[in-house]
Copies of this chain bind each other. A is one copy, B any other.
Amino acid sequence: MERTGSPAEVRSLGIGMLGYAFMGKAHANGYRKLSYMTWPPPLRPRLVVIAGRDEAAVSEAASRFGFERAVTDWHDLVADPDVELLDNGGPNSLHAEPTIAAARAGKHVICEKPLGRTADEAFEIWRETAAAGVVHMCAFNYRFVPAVRLARELVEAGELGDLLHFRARYLQDWGDTDADVWRFDASQAGSGALGDLGAHAIDLGRYLVGEVRSVQGLVRTFAPGREVDDAVEAVVEFDGGAVGTIEATRFALGRRNALQWELNGTKASLAFDMERLNELELFRAGDDRTAGFRRVLVTDPGHPFIEHWWPPGHIIGWGETFVHELHHLLRAIAGGEPVRPHGADFEDGYRAAEVCDAILRSSESGRRVDVDYRTLA
């Protein structure tokens, strides 16, 4: 481990990571970067072990990202006494078992979204983990975009007034491929665009507006022979009365990573696009002759998370959301600010899954579905 990287008095936290692909890279970068960019860090992440099925690849990943050791069986990771936190970035089918095992072993857990392939699976993960009494987090990293956090703060401060509309769409365009990726395999992924992209939009709706009360949905698969949905369209109704739409697709040419949402209240409106994640658009009623949507470049000293970064206008990237997210998690583990409400915990992961399932049922039946959320006994 690094000799330096944090003050002597900050204790370390042993990390065991499951998965070394896209999310593994993003999370590993997050741990390394937060060690010096958020200073002093709440805990010093110690990269203990990384697990993956391909021995050569996982060894390479360990070497690259600085893990002390690599294993090919995640049970070894869970059994490792140096591991205090499981970071689960594996395929969706590997969310439940390792996460629950780690929690039972007394390890804190962060798990990528969607938490489970179904609401039932997600609920089970939540139930078991909560019972274990460890800190748990579902990696809805878009809550940690400075502009999204600022939006939430504006909503909480009442600056939008009553919320009337939320329309969100998460558009990507890589669906037209023959690639054999686990995201197209129903048994590994659960769903397609719904769980992969739609879940993010749902989580932001829950974070910014409130609980989803009902859905009317339609899912569609465009690619012949594909097992999972390529697109989802839904009308949603929130507790509190706001109504809107949630859409997700892998077939919107030209939209590379366009998680776009707009929120209309009785006093102000907000709009956002992940492809320009440093910007929040805000319209305020009452600005008279100079009313207009303003492009707030969320890089000023007073903006969320910016204390860690650069001077105004020096924008940050998508990868930085993980620095914020993992910093938040480490703070929660260290006994500081809890995961909720600004982070998503496993209850949030479960609730998003419940909305996803409701959309699938509505698509099937054609009926509006009131979303029923289970609670822990």
What is A's interface to B at a CB cutoff of 8 Å? 1-7, 22, 26, 28-29, 32-33, 36-37, 39-40, 62-68, 150, 154, 164-165, 167, 169, 171-172, 174, 176, 216-218, 220, 222, 231, 233-237, 241, 243-245, 247, 249, 251-258, 262, 264-269, 274-285, 287-297, 299-300, 302-303, 309-320, 362, 366-368
Residues of B with C-beta under 8 A to A5? 63-64, 66
Q: How many angstroms from the CA of A153 to the CA of B233 in the assembled complex?
A: 27
Q: Contact between A66 and B36 (Cβ–Cβ < 8 Å)?
A: yes
Q: From residue A193, how far is it (CB to closest CB) to chain B in Å?
A: 11
Q: Contact between A282 and B290 (Cβ–Cβ < 8 Å)?
A: yes
Q: How many angstroms from the CA of A216 to the CA of B363 in the assembled complex?
A: 10
Q: Contact between B65 and A256 (Cβ–Cβ < 8 Å)?
A: no
Q: Contact between A296 and B302 (Cβ–Cβ < 8 Å)?
A: no
Known: A251-B264, A289-B302. 4 other contacts (CB 8 A): A216-B368, A233-B245, A257-B314, A316-B317
Residues of B with C-beta under 8 A to A231? 164-165, 243
Residues of B with C-beta under 8 A to A267? 253
Q: How many angstroms from the CA of A28 to the CA of B39 in the assembled complex?
A: 14
Residues of B with C-beta under 8 A to A367? 366-368
Q: From residue A102, how far is it (CB to closest CB) to chain B in Å?
A: 23
Q: Contact between B292 and A282 (Cβ–Cβ < 8 Å)?
A: yes
Q: 30 interchain pairs (CB within 8 A)?
A: A4-B66, A4-B67, A29-B36, A32-B32, A164-B251, A167-B247, A216-B216, A216-B217, A220-B241, A220-B243, A233-B245, A235-B245, A251-B264, A252-B262, A252-B264, A253-B269, A253-B285, A254-B291, A256-B300, A257-B313, A275-B297, A275-B313, A280-B292, A281-B292, A289-B300, A291-B300, A292-B295, A309-B317, A310-B319, A314-B317
Q: Contact between A319 and B318 (Cβ–Cβ < 8 Å)?
A: no
Return the chain B residue nearest A297 by Cβ: B256
Residues of B with C-beta under 8 A to A245? 167, 233, 235, 245, 247
Residues of B with C-beta under 8 A to A174? 311-312
Which among B63, B220, B315 is the interface contact of A275 at CB below 8 angstroms? B315
Return the chain B residue nearest A217 by Cβ: B235
Residues of B with C-beta under 8 A to A1? 3
Q: Contact between B303 and A289 (Cβ–Cβ < 8 Å)?
A: yes
Q: From residue A141, how far is it (CB to closest CB) to chain B in Å?
A: 11
Which among B22, B243, B310 is the interface contact of A218 at CB below 8 angstroms? B243
Q: Contact between B310 and A318 (Cβ–Cβ < 8 Å)?
A: yes
The interface centre, meaning the residue of A233, A274, A296, A362 with most chain B CB atoms within 10 A of its CB, is: A233
Return the chain B residue nearest A232 by Cβ: B243
Q: Contact between A296 and B300 (Cβ–Cβ < 8 Å)?
A: no
Residues of B with C-beta under 8 A to A154? 290
Q: How many angstroms from the CA of A288 to the CA of B294 in the assembled complex?
A: 13
Given contacts A165-B249, A275-B297, A288-B302, contact A312 B64 (CB under 8 A): no
Given contacts A64-B4, A257-B312, A319-B310, contact A235 B252 (CB under 8 A): no
Residues of B with C-beta under 8 A to A282? 290, 292
Which among B40, B150, B244, B251 is the interface contact of A233 at CB below 8 angstroms? B244
